[in-house]
Amino acid sequence: MTEFLKMHGLGNDFIIFDWRRGGVETVSEAAARALADRRRGIGCDQILVIRPSDKADIRMDILNHDGSPSGACGNGTRCVADLVMADDATTALSIETDGAMLRAWRAGDGDIAVDMGPVSTGWADVPLAHEADTLAVPLGIDGLDPAICHSLGNPHAVVFVEDAEAVDLAAIGPMVETSPLFPQRVNFSVVSPLADGGFRMRVWERGVGITMACGSGACAVGVAVARSGRGAASNRIVMDGGAVRIDWDEASRHVVMTGPVAHVARGVLSEAMTALLEGRDDTA
């Protein structure tokens, strides 16, 4: 019997396995894709696995919808932090990921904050295929301004536009994600200013597609706003699923995201899905 949880942060949804006391050693790409399938599986943007850590309170592994690994997932981090802090009756947590060591805490009014660590702004850190000014990276797509690029443990490209709603993200997103410019592919966001001083963001996630929200993407947008001089170091970022606050400390290069999370369900996988997850061939 394999238990799972379903949570979301502003519609960015996750299957979570809490394997702090033991579980499957490796989730295969095939199992991840089957679980993430919204018709034949549970359905999610990412799969998150909580494991023990000798460096932090917990370790979190991240798999995208297509089964590929990810080094960062801001909304997922906030969901996992809320879950573990409730279980352990704590208000703060350290989290080991492939991308960075993270800190999360309860920020009041039900919100969870996470320090996503230092943002890397060098072209080789993103990484890009060749040297470029990361404040103005030409994407080679007609009608699209140069991108602001940086890494939060995963690569991001942010383009400011007049109206984010008017961009054909379904067409442009895959072109940017798989461009030879980005050897590890890239998360792509389009952003436009709002009358209230906030910023409207739409996102194409690497290995996922269009999502209602992207935590690391929102962080990338907040940093891009500040780096380009379009706003202050603290900004409200509005996505399809709702808004978060992004605070960037230029001196330390750390970026903090604050926003809500939601619990959806707790369940048990079928025997067939468990067999796939565990790499068993029950048809033999």
Distances (CA, A) of 98 to 51, 178, 234: 13, 22, 26
Q: Which residue in the list 79, 149, 214, 219 is annotated as catalytic?
A: 214
Residue type at 185? R
Identify whether the C-beta of residue 260 lies closer than 8 Å to the C-beta of residue 250.
Answer: no
Q: Given the residues 44, 73, 149, 219, select the one marked as catalytic.
A: 73
44 is catalytic: no
Partners of 185 in the β-ladder: none
Please name the residue ranges forming H helices in the chain.
29-36, 74-88, 169-177, 215-227, 271-278
What is the maximal distance between C-alpha atoms in the chain?
62
Phi, psi dihedrals of residue 274, rounded to the nearest 5°: -65, -40
How far apart, in Å, are the Cα atoms of 18 and each of 22, 26, 63, 94, 102? 9, 14, 14, 16, 18
Nearest of 184, 196, 188 to residue 243 by alpha carbon = 196
Round to whole Å and give the CA distance between 100 and 79: 17
Alpha-carbon distance of 183 to 204, in angstroms, equals 17
Residue 219 among the catalytic residues: no
CB 152 within 8 A of CB 116: yes
Catalytic positions, written as ranges: 73, 214
